Amino acid sequence: MAPSPANRLDLDYRAVPARRVATRIVDVHAHVHNVPSVAALFAAAEAYGISKIVSMTPLDEVAAMRSDYRERLNFIAIPRWRRMANSAAFQKQWLADLEAFRTLGARRMKFWMAPPMRGQYGLTLHDPFFQPLIQEGLRLGYDFMVHVGDPSEWFAPGGRYADGQIFGTKHEQYPQLEHLLDTVAPRNVIAAHMGGSCEEPAFLQNLLDRHDNLFLDSSATKWVVRAIARQPEAVRAFMIRNQDRILFGSDLVVSADYDFEHYASRYWTHLMLWETAYRGESPIADPDAEDPPRLAGVDLPAAVLRKFYDTNAARLGL
């Protein structure tokens, strides 16, 4: 039988490796949907000691998710992406949804600003389209999350964003993040997926040093795993230096196609990545990685792990 893309090493994900620290673990970045396999996500979370998941759940699924998993879920306000359009009608719906999400307890709102937002809709956070949304977010008391950038491989020749005229270069994605940071300060902004530049810790350091209200989450397992495998020492030093600014996240997406094995594979891999000095193959298939995909743990000190898993999230109200 061909190995599963979530378990190419045929591991037993129910045999959870020992945790290095006894602490609450908050997953600040996931996409929980109201499908039957959501129970398998929570089973994996429980097995791996994740006590709270902060989710980007569509508004019309929030009530059901809240009634089943109230203690274990927080929500981040998102728009109705499937109907995304650069239009007044979409903006108006988004504004209304911000208010509804706030009533349901959301304290943070998300802007997904990956290159297709520019390439397909002609939008960056500099666009007037976003001004009422940012202002309404501030009025309602929201903090922010942003997805900016995407893996560097995707901007390279042959990659999906190779046409810089349409999508901009990777570094050209960032002025919009700095614009948001300046506009909403002192409210905080979590830049998802290691700020979109796990490949370039020095570039991220420069942003962090210039913006006190910038935080990062560690989500996007394949992307972060392959970037760290190329320079584990540099990322370890970066994580320690910025130990008050980086939060744990998985970017798990709940889908009818996934099972316990899939969800657990991400939590297993993150455990090995942050808590151990593992050197070897990654259990998760990754078409953007070297073949075979490698995994290098950065073996963070216990005090850093406690901040990463728990106290930084608590400080940001998560």
Q: Which residues bind Zn ion (CB under 5 A)?
A: 251
Q: Which residue, 150 or 275, has its beta carbon nearer to Zn ion?
A: 150
Q: Which residue, 57 or 236, has its beta carbon nearer to Zn ion?
A: 57
Q: Which residue, 114 or 264, has its beta carbon nearer to Zn ion?
A: 114
Alpha-carbon distance of 317 to 103, in angstroms, equals: 16
Residue 7 one-letter amino acid = N
Give min distance, CB of 272 to Zn ion, in A.
21
Give min distance, CB of 165 to Zn ion, in A.
27
Q: Which residue, 28 or 296, has its beta carbon nearer to Zn ion?
A: 28
Query: How far is residue 185 from each of residues 125, 138, 215, 270, 289, measured CA to CA in Å?
Result: 15, 10, 12, 31, 37
Give min distance, CB of 251 to Zn ion, in A.
4
Other C-beta atoms closer than 10 Å to the C-beta of 247 total 26
Give min distance, CB of 76 to Zn ion, in A.
9
Q: Which residue, 188 or 306, has its beta carbon nearer to Zn ion?
A: 188
Burial 274-283 (b: 16+ CB within 10 A, else e): bbbebeeebb
Give min distance, CB of 279 to Zn ion, in A.
28
Q: Which position has the token pair 């455990």?
A: 271
Q: Which residue, 143 or 251, has its beta carbon nearer to Zn ion?
A: 251
CB-based closest residue to Zn ion: 251
Give min distance, CB of 266 to Zn ion, in A.
12
Give min distance, CB of 199 to Zn ion, in A.
18
Q: Which residue, 111 or 174, has its beta carbon nearer to Zn ion?
A: 111
| Closest by CA position to 80, among listed 99, 59, 96, 98 | 59
Q: Which residue, 27 or 251, has its beta carbon nearer to Zn ion?
A: 251
